[in-house]
Amino acid sequence: MRAILGCRGRFGVVLLLLAGIASLAGAAEPILIKMGTLAPDGSSWHQIFKSMGEQWRQAPGGGVTLRIYPGGVLGDEPDLVRKMRVGQIQAAALTAVGLADIDTAVSALQIPMMFRSWDEVDAVREQIRPALERRLEEKGFVVLNWGDAGWVMFFAKQPFSTPADMKKLKLFVWAGDNQAIDMWKTAGYQPVPLSSTDILTGLQTGLINAFDTTPLLALSSQWFGLAKHMLDLKWAPLLGATVIHKKTWDKIPVETQNAMRRAAAEAGERLKADIRAANDKAIAAMQERGLTVHAASPEIEAAWTREAEGIYPKIRGTLIPAETFDEVKRLRDAYRASAPPGKGAPR
């Protein structure tokens, strides 16, 4: 009897140990998601991402830990896409430049001189968004939110206003996008391929003397300090999205995914509102620091429109899938035809 009781006692200890091991397994650490972004450290973008990360940490189902690497410390956007593919990071906040490294169809949302207003951009993006998200997911990336960084404008070290003026300058273009580089050259420009993290050095050394970006990025990166002339022309909207690699996403419990999507969508709306307001303020702040803003007369705007539309046949089917290009243009035209007065108005 004593032996039986002893066996039972030892069996009970084993059960307790097994229960403890199971409990420890169930209390595993949250999934770690490393996210890269070019958003400057401490900027409103960075702060909103941090707030989103706190909501992710508290999500049901165990949550996830978001570790953000801001300011391009992990490299340019093509570097971020490559690092997601090999598993060095799991997520990134990308502009359409980086997203196009995944699928070129995203570039259709920032065709030069295609849009006149944010109303047009929002209307077209909302309708084409499901198709773009499917294409990106087929390439292994899940979109958590969409956003934008303002209107892309041209900056230069010397006064300029027309396409002919710009063709005399050494213009920054994203390194690695060989088709776009060839397109600029064919159109008569002098593109200089660089990483965006090398723009400041390029301006300092004279390797480039012009670039295109949003006012907010020009201010936060201090590039405008070496290129104090800006043309007030909405060349294209700079759009983007926060994406996560699908292999990581599929490991996250569904209830956690749902909470993450809600937090990301909220962050996207905050980013959109904050950034659009901040770009106007950025222009004023740069003017106080010596920036000269050159107005684009109707004639100058018409010249840039002709310049852009002249390369549409070269963009369509090469830089952007033909069907996506055509759909964006169709949606834009439909919106303009049905928009109430004041919506989709000229720049």
CATH classification of the domain holding 75: 3.40.190.170
Q: In this structure, is residue 317 part of a structural domain?
A: yes
Torsion of CA 267, 145, 180, 335, to 10 degrees: -100
For the beta carbon of residue 162, count every other beta carbon within 10 angstroms: 14
- The Cα–Cα gap between 145 and 24 comes to 34
Q: In this structure, is residue 71 part of a structural domain?
A: yes
Q: In this structure, is residue 182 part of a structural domain?
A: yes
- Res 16: pLDDT: 36
With cut-offs at 50, 70 and 90, classify the pLDDT of residue 343.
low
Q: Alpha carbon of 112 to those of 54, 67, 79, 92, 185: distances in Å?
A: 37, 34, 25, 25, 16
Per-residue pLDDT tens over the stretch 168-187 = 999 999 887 788 898 899 99
Who wins on pLDDT, 45 or 11? 45
Answer whether residue 278 shows pLDDT above 70.
Answer: yes
Q: In this structure, is residue 103 part of a structural domain?
A: yes
Q: In this structure, is residue 41 part of a structural domain?
A: yes
Mean pLDDT over residues 295-310, rounded? 96
Kindly tell me the burial class for residue 225, based on how many C-beta atoms sit within 10 Å of its own C-beta (0-12, 13-18, 19 or more): middle
Answer whether residue 80 shows pLDDT above 80.
Answer: yes
Which residues span the domain enclosing 304? Answer: 30-338
Who wins on pLDDT, 179 or 32? 32
H helix count then E strand count, the chain: 13, 10
Q: How many CA atoms lie within 13 A of 344 on its CB side?
A: 18
Q: In this structure, is residue 311 part of a structural domain?
A: yes
Per-residue pLDDT tens over the stretch 310-342 = 999 999 999 999 999 999 999 999 999 997 765
Answer whether residue 190 shows pLDDT above 90.
Answer: yes
Total domains, the chain? 1
Mean pLDDT over residues 290-297, rounded? 97
- Sorted by sequence, the CB contacts under 8 Å of residue 64 that are 6+ apart come out as 30, 31, 32, 33, 56, 57, 252, 256, 260
- Res 1: pLDDT: 38
Sign of dihedral through CA atoms 204, 210, 214, 216? positive
- Res 344: pLDDT: 53
Kindly tell me the burial class for residue 86, based on how many C-beta atoms sit within 10 Å of its own C-beta (0-12, 13-18, 19 or more): exposed
Q: In this structure, is residue 25 part of a structural domain?
A: no
Q: In this structure, is residue 9 part of a structural domain?
A: no
